[in-house]
Amino acid sequence: MLEVILLGCGGSMPLPNRYLSAALIQYKGRKILIDCGEGTQVSMREIKSGFKTLDLICLTHLHGDHINGLPGLLATVGNSGRTEPILIIGPTGTEKIWEGIKMLVPYLPFAVEVLEKPLEVDSLTLSYYDEEIQLTTLDLDHSSFCLGYRFDVKRQPKFDVEKAVANQVPKHLWNTLQKQTNQVCFENKVYTKEMVLGSSRQGIRVSFVTDTRPIATISQFIEKSDLFICEGTYGDEADLDRAKAHKHMTFSEAANLAKQGQVKQLLLTHFGVALTEPEQYLDQVTTIFKNTKLGEDQLRVELNFALNHE
């Protein structure tokens, strides 16, 4: 089971009743954080998630409402006793931002590695014991370099006894090949994972798109996501010109992307400061894309592997 927790659903400025847009992915006891505005660590504390198992921080872009929580969060991760490195991925400019943050928290007890897109990362595979998460980015259209993120949990095929026997894999290697390694050399013969595993199984796809205009490349990027988290800075269609001017989206534009991308569920977030009652606009959005939910701070979505592929 993969869990996505929307830590906040606000844009621009942190408010007393609304944290800034950020999301936490929890999988097999490890954590990935997407964006980190001021207050993100407090929202993490509210859900009692702990800080030590945060391995990766993905920054969509470098505007303050998406990064100003980093110094405090990293200090708190340091206080949690973590000593393993943390990886920060972000758009062009992330290296420079990290230089600034380092000056605010020079005493971290762990190393921070920075991968700056597009120079160094387009698709990256993270290992989670016997499963993997593939991370892919997309260039968005905002007022600064901005990345969309897609997380694909690659579900490992089931162990196939008949196949293992047919491939003459020694029995004592079955467990190693299924759970630990891609290949084993034994008595001068190479045995691979594929020799003991069955056909591919559907994984889980989560995509996160904020802040941006609804450009054409997004619908393919998010295609068939189990969960599509998307910015909806404006609820009212009358704000379309404003959305265009500030390189943001209206709820309807986000819903149209969800429809084109045939996603299973749309979760709207990054509400503008003036959007105090997003529920006013929900009806109009569900006529475009039915399975739309409005973001709420600490809203939790559980995603499981599809049963029909067990």
Quick one: which of 26, 60, 76, 207 contacts a copy of itself (CB under 8 A)?
A: 76
Q: What DSSP state is assigned to residue 175?
A: H
Nearer to a copy of itself, 45 or 244 (CB): 45
Does position 112 interact with a copy of itself (CB under 8 A)? The reply is: no
In Å, how far from its chain's centre is CA 154?
Answer: 14
Percent of the chain as helix, strand, coil, to the nearest 5: 30, 30, 40
The region of 66-74, 150-158, 209-217, 259-267 touching a copy of itself under the rule CB under 8 A is 66-74
Residues 22-41 contacting a copy of itself, CB under 8 A: 37-39, 41
How many Å apart are CA 264 and CA 134, to the nearest integer?
19
Nearer to a copy of itself, 46 or 113 (CB): 46
Quick one: which of 11, 14, 203, 272 contacts a copy of itself (CB under 8 A)?
A: 14
Does position 42 interact with a copy of itself (CB under 8 A)? The reply is: yes
| Token pair in block for residue 181 | 């390694």
Does position 198 interact with a copy of itself (CB under 8 A)? The reply is: no
Cβ neighbours for 12, distance < 8 A, ≥ 6 positions apart: 65, 272, 273
Does position 81 interact with a copy of itself (CB under 8 A)? The reply is: no
Could you identify the residue written with the tokens 């959305």?
A: 243
Nearer to a copy of itself, 12 or 233 (CB): 12
Cβ neighbours for 58, distance < 8 A, ≥ 6 positions apart: 32, 33, 34, 35, 88, 89, 90, 135, 147, 149, 208
Nearer to a copy of itself, 69 or 203 (CB): 69
Does position 50 interact with a copy of itself (CB under 8 A)? The reply is: no
The region of 53-61, 73-81, 216-224, 256-264 touching a copy of itself under the rule CB under 8 A is 73-81
Edge to edge, what strands does the sheet with 86-90 contain?
112-116, 86-90, 54-58, 30-34, 22-27, 2-8, 299-303
The catalytic position among 35, 55, 65, 236 is 65
Q: Shortest Cβ distance from residue 100 to a copy of itself (Å)?
A: 3
Q: Shortest Cβ distance from residue 10 to a copy of itself (Å)?
A: 11
Site size toward a copy of itself (CB under 8 A) is 31
Q: Shortest Cβ distance from residue 44 to a copy of itself (Å)?
A: 10
| 297 counts as catalytic | no
Could you identify the residue written with the tokens 């089931």?
A: 158
User: DSSP string spanning 1-52?
Assistant: -EEEEEEE-B-SS-BTTBPBSEEEEEETTEEEEE---TTHHHHHHHTT--ST
Binding flags for a copy of itself, 232-251, as an x/- string (CB under 8 A): --------------------
Distances, alpha carbon 231 to alpha carbons 27, 200, 235, 267, in Å? 23, 33, 10, 8
Q: Which residues of this chain interact with a copy of itself, rule CB under 8 A?
A: 12-16, 37-39, 41-42, 45-46, 64-65, 67-69, 71-72, 75-76, 79, 96-97, 99-105
Catalytic positions, written as ranges: 65
